[in-house]
Structure 1
Amino acid sequence: MGLVAHVPIARHLLRARDLADARYSEALTVADLAAAAALSPAHFSRSFKAAFGESPHQYLLTRRLERAAALLLATDWSVAAIGVAVGLRSIGSFTTSFRRMYGMTPQAYRTAHPAAARHVRVPRCVAMAYGRPRNRTFREDTGASAA
């Protein structure tokens, strides 16, 4: 009969954290994360906070708000659309949580951090032409075929 290897609780907690990182936009609950860690919800919450310094709910909210901040800067989506995209269903709670974390509303954050295109000194048409692929075709039978 073989010995069953003892898996440290930290490994189980990392599975739950990885789940939160990968599926932050879904309606995850503490029970879902606890199931991923193979722990009871209460024990999971205590262990997660001890290991990572914040509750599972707060960790998930932080990931969502970080992604929302990135989307505010990289897209022209509405604030409501961004809130839904990151898994926050209420625009009011999204705005409140965002203000608590970043010190301003999502719209004010977007205004305070203008798009990088505004800072480019090269005209857009030149930048687009430079980034365009050259008119080349890929053929394996060209080149050293005479050899």
Structure 2
Amino acid sequence: MTSRPAQTPQLRDLVLLRRVRDRIDRHYAEPLDVEALARGVNMSAGHLSRQFRRAYGESPYSYLMTRRIERAMTLLRRGDLSVTDVCFTVGCSSLGTFSTRFTELVGVPPSVYRREEAHATAGMPACVAKQVTRPIRNREAPAPEPHLA
């Protein structure tokens, strides 16, 4: 009979962090908070936040908002929903917070993105479009430089 060696605490935490990340990926449109995510893996919210940032380079909330913005970008390019509808569809409860975070990650407000990027991925395979349109993670989009006349 062979026995498996016991997992180290770090490896055990990584497994739990992956579960949290997978839950965020699957349920991004649902109301999620760090407390609920932490309870789901029997960690404190503080420990989860620290370990998640150490493993993935950003907080669980930031990761969740990035997922929501990625989905919002797709819906806005489709063009059949208003910015407000997209905001609530992806799980945001505040249009102001959604617009601010969208602008930080993408570099333009959602209304401008909807208007200007509607046909940006036409004819492009979905897997390529996802890579090309991925929002900037861990850094905000650079502010556009002013045009001096």
- Alignment of 1:95 with 2:99, yes or no, is yes
Choose the corresponding residue for 2:54, options 50, 56, 66. Answer: 50
Work out which structure has the larger RCO, using CA pairs closer than 8 Å and 6 or more positions apart in sequence.
Answer: 2
CA RMSD, aligned part only? Answer: 2.2
Instruction: Give the TM-score normalised by the residue count of structure 2.
Output: 0.72
Give, in whole Å, the separation in 2 of the partners of 1:113 and 1:16: 32
Question: Out of 60, 63, 66, which is 2:64 matched to?
Answer: 60
Matched, 1:82 2:86: yes
After the TM superposition, which segments of 4 or more aligned residues of structure 1 sit over 6 Å from their partners?
A: none
> What is the letter of the counterpart of residue 67 of structure 1?
R
Q: Check the 8 A contact 2:78/2:118 in 1, yes or no.
A: no
Map 1:19-58 → 2, pairs under 5 A: 19-58=23-62
CA distance in 1, matches of 2:114, 2:89: 16
Question: What is the CA–CA distance in structure 2 between the aligned matches of 1:116 and 1:59, rounded to whole Å?
Answer: 25
Identity of aligned residues (%): 40
State whether residues 68 and 82 of structure 1, in contact with CA within 8 Å, keep that contact through their aligned partners in structure 2.
yes
Following TM superposition, by how much is the alpha carbon of 1:116 offset from its aligned partner in structure 2, in angstroms?
6.5
**Bigger radius of gyration:** 1
TM-score (norm 1): 0.73
Residue identity matched to 2:52: F
Aligned residues: 118
Number of the residue aligned with 2:134? none
User: 2-side partners of 1:75 and 1:5: how far apart?
Assistant: 52
- In the TM superposition, residue 76 of structure 1 has moved relative to its aligned partner by 1.0
